[in-house]
């Protein structure tokens, strides 16, 4: 009991990193339905301290997400364009499925016609998935993000 008197636990969630491959289907010249795959890496450190000793455990989570978004082209030409995007994403790992809703603004540079690289700063809200695993998505339900990737438009 005396050893537990100075026992403490802390946790630190690192900002997740995401990379994606996206495919879009043009509904109108300005409106595109997009989907694809997004890989997200999230890690956390959990530190237990007692009697001057620290034990650090690192948690590494890997998610594969399937987004469904609507993208609205704000401005652009054949090589570069800017847009706003919003939709839902479902991420699966070995635990429970993680749903989220979000929006972003982005810029895309077409390397060749209909294929480009993109950068999307955005915001995402994570819905509680009732999992017992402690993640940044539970602690900070609203997250700002930067997604980078390659997009093919059909």
The structure's pTM equals 0.82
Q: 89-94: long-range contacts at Cβ-Cβ below 8 A with a sequence spacing of 24 or more? A: 89/38, 89/65, 89/124, 90/65, 90/66, 91/38, 91/40, 91/63, 91/64, 91/65, 92/63, 92/64, 92/65, 92/66, 93/61, 93/62, 93/63, 93/64
What was the pLDDT predicted at 91? 84
Render pLDDT for 16-40 as a digit per residue (tens, 0 to 9).
Answer: 888 878 888 999 999 999 999 989 8
Q: How confident is the model at residue 1 (pLDDT cuts 50, 70, 90)?
A: low
- Neighbour count for residue 43 (Cβ, 10 Å): 17
Identify the pLDDT of residue 10: 93
Contacts 24+ apart (CB under 8 A), 57-61: 59/133, 59/134, 61/93, 61/133, 61/135
At 140, is the secondary structure helix, strand, or coil? Answer: coil
pLDDT at 2 over 80: no
Task: Band the pLDDT of 5: cuts 50, 70, 90.
Answer: low
Residue pLDDT, tens place only, 108-150: 999 998 899 989 899 999 999 998 889 999 999 999 888 888 8
The pLDDT, as a whole number, for residue 151 is 85
* C-alpha–C-alpha distance, residues 131 and 109, integer Å: 39
78-105 confidence digits (pLDDT tens) = 899 999 999 999 887 667 889 999 999 9
pLDDT in tens, 44-76: 999 999 877 889 999 999 999 999 999 999 999
């Amino acid at each position: 009991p005396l050893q537990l008197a100075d026992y403490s636990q802390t946790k630190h969630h690192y900002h997740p990193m995401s990379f994606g491959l996206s495919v879009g289907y043009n509904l109108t010249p300005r409106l595109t339905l997009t989907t694809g795959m997004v890989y997200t890496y999230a890690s956390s450190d959990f530190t237990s301290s007692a009697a001057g000793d620290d034990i650090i455990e690192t948690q590494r989570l890997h998610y594969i997400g399937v987004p469904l978004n609507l993208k609205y082209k704000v401005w652009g030409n054949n090589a570069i364009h800017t847009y706003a995007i919003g939709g839902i994403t479902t991420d699966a790992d070995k635990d429970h499925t993680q749903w989220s809703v979000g929006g972003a603004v982005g810029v895309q540079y077409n390397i060749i016609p209909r294929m480009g690289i993109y950068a999307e700063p955005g915001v995402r809200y994570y819905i509680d998935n009732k999992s017992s695993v402690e993640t940044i998505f539970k602690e900070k339900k609203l997250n700002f993000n930067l997604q980078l990737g390659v997009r093919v438009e059909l």
